[in-house]
Amino acid sequence: MIDTYSTGCFNASRIGRSNYLRNFFFIIGLLLIGRFSGEAQSKTEIRIDSGSPSLVIDGEIYPPYAYMSYLGEEEYYKEIAATGIHIYNIPAYLGEGGINTVSGIGPFRAPIWLGEGQYDFSSLESDFEKIIRSDPKAKVIIRFYLDPPEWWTELYPEAAAHMPDGTSFRQCFASKIWQEKTGEVLRDCLDRLLGSQYSKYLAGIHVASGFTEEWFYHPKQYQDQNPARLQAFRQWLKNSYKNKDALRVAWNQPLLTFENAQLANIDEPSKSTEWRNPDHEQNYIDTYRFQAEVMVDNIAYFSKIVKEKSHGNLLTGAFYGYHYFVGDPRRGHGALAKLLDCQDLDYLSSPNVYNRVAGEDWPPMAAINSVQLHGKLWLTENDTRTSITTLLKDRSNDIAPPGQYESGVWLGPEDMDTSVSFLWKNTARMLAYGYGGWWFDMWGGWFNAPELLNVIEKTQQLHTLFPASLGIKMKSQVGVVVDEELSFWDPTYGHLTENILSNRYPLAKTGNSYDLFLRTDLENMATSQYKLVWLLGLLELNSKEKKRIQKWTKQGVTVLWTNGKGTNIFRPNREQLFLDGKLNWSATELGELWEGAGVHRYIQTDDVFYIGKNWLGIHTINGGEKTINFPFRAQIVDPVKNVILADATRQLHLIMKPKSTLLLRVNPLEE
């Protein structure tokens, strides 16, 4: 049983020497009981087989799908266990503050960190017990929310964010005191968990902090005036520029030094609707780069603690890299490239983008091909609303603020058929693009219907029933390259950025799939497979990128370059074409460009279309007749009904219902 107890650093003058020794030996006893009671720690690994991920826990293969609910009720755990899912995410909170400091939402669990060296693990114990009772085969990933409790912020004001009005707020993310003290607490928590009876059920730690647990800066922290933040920024400038002359040239300030450099005001009202000028506004760019790198350094720091404490046995992950959807650079999500070099981090996550309407693609918020290129697993958060989605106010009145979480994206579709199609769309995208995810039943009961549970169960089964495949003959012929720092140059806090990145929606309706990479991986892309490359949102090109365009066109590749002014088109053996002001493209326009570049289009309609790794998915809003043309002969299987639709064909005719999703297995045949 996990009780309230004390550990960590004790002050003997405060609690007395006898209490100190009693606590000390009590803790040692607990750890030894766990260590020698026959409870073995789980070992979790990632296995990539033919480009498709699996989790291997204690030598057993698990499909990369999990379940999570903030409220965590046994009724729903049992339903999920019956679908074959045995991986569960549970939340845990060091402090009592809610995750959304704008909405005022309350915490989902009691705080763990009660005082210096004092912890209450009863909420974790309760979660483990409910899951184990529901599913004895359960493996658990804990989402540890590392924002501090209020008492700690009051005790260590030098480690808190300093507001302009003189008040303190939570933590300063650049504070080494916060980082190190929180690291000590995380170590204590891991010691307790790994020495407990729950060790064999523990599979990983998802490190979380900031706004909505996603390593965003809380809006109040945009104005953080803690001297530690400024000191860290100046050290960052030293590391980046090496000498003051380089800094002066970059900032265009002849009297600038590392000692007097200031952070840009990133919370000022928008003053312009034009992209930033690097000759005069490099201080803004460097402030945003610093902000982002502080976040990824923290993720790496806490991930390393998990790996060290578990001797490498626990999976580590975090939310990060939302450059493909979140256009506000103040959030701190512009350093994914740096984080991908972290050897202690196993997976990254985001929700699907929040344009949750029928007939549109809901891609992850990051360049997942770069994530995979660097050996990381992508796990998407399928917080998909359904026709039976519950509202938080109806499930837990003491958590939901009045009027919050009741409209807009928090509401699901009106009917069950559309709900089912949404879940199948989640599945089709995960399979075709080779990543995993968890079904996020936020307040509970969102999937509590036979039709929806059937999708979750079938998704689990498909991973086992159909062998993993690289899908060589259906690899993407379109490569898209994005700059995760695009928003840094956007003084409108995202409006200019979104105008370009909104092309993510027609991209999914061109009758083929596409790969998405970070600009920093341009040289690492296996571009021999691409017939068209789109440099999407690169405001300026450097000399290497210009040479690469020349190389591509000589190899017969068409290149699009969309900057802040329009789109340049580079075609093999043809003059460059510049379309002034052309930033947004329709699916029809892109389809014509694809055909002109020799990209195969499997389908001519503007339905959402996925293909890859021997999987094909179509999501339609209007339904009707669909004709799929394959560039190879293939066997086509309906994997849900386990029916062969065609033994050997190059063309398939289908009739689909409105607002529906179809998933097919495509097995290419030897010619």
Predicted confidence (pLDDT) at residue 31 exceeds the cutoff of 60: no
Residue 643 CA from chain centroid, whole number: 35
Alpha-carbon span 130 to 74, nearest angstrom = 6
Residue 75 burial by Cβ neighbours in a 10 Å radius (0-12, 13-18, 19+): exposed
Residue written as token pair 């903030």: 70
Please say whether the structural domain 4-234+283-465 has been given the CATH code 3.40.1000.10.
Answer: no
Q: What is the pLDDT of residues 418-458, one digit of tens each?
A: 999 999 999 999 999 999 999 999 999 999 999 999 999 99
How do 87-93 and 139-145 pair as beta strands? parallel
Class of domain 472-597: alpha beta
The model's confidence at residue 2, banded by pLDDT at 50, 70 and 90, is: very low
Predicted confidence (pLDDT) at residue 184 exceeds the cutoff of 50: yes
Mapped onto helix, strand or coil, the DSSP state of residue 670 is coil
The model's confidence at residue 34, banded by pLDDT at 50, 70 and 90, is: very low
Alpha-carbon span 623 to 658, nearest angstrom = 4
Going from N- to C-terminal start, the domains of the chain cover: 4-234+283-465, 472-597, 608-668
The model's confidence at residue 17, banded by pLDDT at 50, 70 and 90, is: very low
Q: Do domains 472-597 and 608-668 have the same CATH topology?
A: no
Predicted confidence (pLDDT) at residue 36 exceeds the cutoff of 80: no
Cβ within 8 Å of residue 474, ≥6 positions away: 513, 611, 612, 613, 614, 616, 666, 668
Cβ within 8 Å of residue 402, ≥6 positions away: 393
φ/ψ of residue 72, rounded to 5: 55, 80
Q: Any idea which architecture 608-668 has in CATH? A: Sandwich (2.60)
Predicted confidence (pLDDT) at residue 385 exceeds the cutoff of 60: yes
pLDDT at res. 584:
97
Q: What is the pLDDT of residues 256-306, one digit of tens each?
A: 999 999 999 999 999 899 999 999 999 999 999 999 999 999 999 999 999
The model's confidence at residue 35, banded by pLDDT at 50, 70 and 90, is: very low
pLDDT at res. 33:
38
pLDDT at res. 6:
41
pLDDT at res. 396:
87
Q: What is the pLDDT of residues 47-60, one digit of tens each?
A: 988 888 889 999 99
Alpha-carbon span 304 to 339, nearest angstrom = 12
The model's confidence at residue 600, banded by pLDDT at 50, 70 and 90, is: very high
| Mean pLDDT value across residues 218-233 | 98
| Higher pLDDT among residues 601 and 402, named by residue | 601
pLDDT at res. 449:
98
Q: Name the pTM for this structure.
A: 0.94
Mean pLDDT of the chain: 93
How many degrees, rounded to 5, is the angle at CA 362 between CA 432 and CA 106? 125
Mapped onto helix, strand or coil, the DSSP state of residue 556 is coil
The model's confidence at residue 570, banded by pLDDT at 50, 70 and 90, is: very high
| Mean pLDDT value across residues 600-625 | 97
The model's confidence at residue 168, banded by pLDDT at 50, 70 and 90, is: very high
Among left, alpha and beta (phi > 0; psi -120 to 50; other), residue 68 is: beta
Q: What letter does residue 196 receive in the DSSP assignment?
A: S
pLDDT at res. 39:
57
Residues 173 and 297 sit within 8 Å (Cβ to Cβ)? no
Alpha-carbon span 33 to 31, nearest angstrom = 5
pLDDT at res. 40:
72
